[in-house]
Amino acid sequence: MLPDLVTTIIPVYNRSRLVLDAVQSVLDQTYRPIEIILVDDGSTDDTPKVLAELADQHPGVVRVARCENGGPGAARETGRQMATGEFIQYLDSDDRLLPKKFERQVAALRESPEAGVAYCYTRYLKIGETPHPKPWKGSGETVDTMFPKFLNDRWWDTPTPLYRRTVCHAAGPWTNLRLEEDWEYDCRIAALGTKLVHCREYLVEVRDHGGPRLCRGAALDPVRLKMRAQSHQLIFGHAVRAGMNEASPNMQQFSRSLFLLARQCGAAGLAAESKTLFLLAMKACGEVRAARLDFGMYRALTRLTGWRLAGRMSIAIDQLRTKNLSSQ
């Protein structure tokens, strides 16, 4: 580890134009020293050529690695293994850092040695449009720890936090999940009891656009649901290790999320995942609430029809209710 150095890790897949903006936003930082690790996640366009040119233009600052396409988590892990900085910045290839991000967040961590992560206001915008008028998600709220709220929502985006390297090391490697891998990773960090420090100013831009994004996809896509089932199981374990139980309102809310995902998995033909998530939902809400009517009726339905048909029937009923409410 090199003291004071900030390592920025940027996974890239077929995004040769937007990544130039992302890299430039790091080079424009008022803080030094920095290093940038670009991880080409098996791109099939001109991205490898663009990344090689960036490394040639900025020797000693920009490094490039290439791996087989494994998704953003695996690519970030490749970068993490190469990182030498005291601080770690993860940055998606379509987002941007504002110039004083490292200056402000490193200073905040220096002033708060008990904190493992600094976060900041996040500006959300669609490229070419006016930015959202308020801090995005929960980035405008000041809290001391990630849990319990992180159990229900990843209330910041990938570029928002700056991590101490020691925190990333304690959390361990990124998973190979392609969906919710960032939420699972941050919940692992939350389970460590990591303290936060808040920089109450805009220091990052999250940019939406019309290009391909992993967060987009069909709700009942079995491949996507299987990954979401895996991430939710891991996240539940992180919350339990952090000491959260059924007495927490956040755990009760997470139980409802598990129940919904269980029904979606069933409807998509993922019987094993559906059953596992359903049992976790009952465990998350506690014995008393697990005896309530909706759990009992659904369990009886699965015994009569199987997990797939029960899921499909439940989703159809939910859609009908939503349609009736919207027409009122």
Q: Could you tell me if 8 and 115 lie in one domain?
A: yes
Q: What is the mean pLDDT of the chain?
A: 94
Burial 257-279 (b: 16+ CB within 10 A, else e): bbbebbbbbbbbebbebbbbbbe
How many angstroms separate the CA atoms of 14 and 243, rounded?
A: 41
Q: Could you tell me if 202 and 294 lie in one domain?
A: no
The DSSP element (H or E) to which 123 belongs, if any, is strand 115-126
Write the pLDDT tens digit of every residue in 168-192. 999 999 999 999 999 999 999 999 9
Q: Could you tell me if 124 and 250 lie in one domain?
A: no
Q: Could you tell me if 238 and 147 lie in one domain?
A: no
Q: Could you tell me if 45 and 172 lie in one domain?
A: yes
How many angstroms separate the CA atoms of 23 and 51, rounded?
A: 10
Confidence of residue 91 (pLDDT cuts 50, 70, 90): very high
Taking Cα atoms as reference points, which of 47, 63, 45, 68 lies closest to residue 5? 63
Q: Give the three-state DSSP class for 268.
A: coil
What tokens does 45 get?
Answer: 């366009």
Q: Rg of the chain over CA atoms, in angstroms?
A: 21
Question: Model-level pTM?
Answer: 0.92
Write the pLDDT tens digit of every residue in 4-21. 999 999 999 999 999 999
What range defines the domain where residue 253 resides? 222-327
- Say if residue 259's pLDDT is above 90: yes
Confidence of residue 216 (pLDDT cuts 50, 70, 90): low
Looking at 173, 208, 243, the residue that finishes a domain is 208
Q: Could you tell me if 16 and 77 lie in one domain?
A: yes
Write the pLDDT tens digit of every residue in 294-326. 898 999 999 999 999 999 998 888 777 766 656
Average pLDDT over residues 243-270: 95
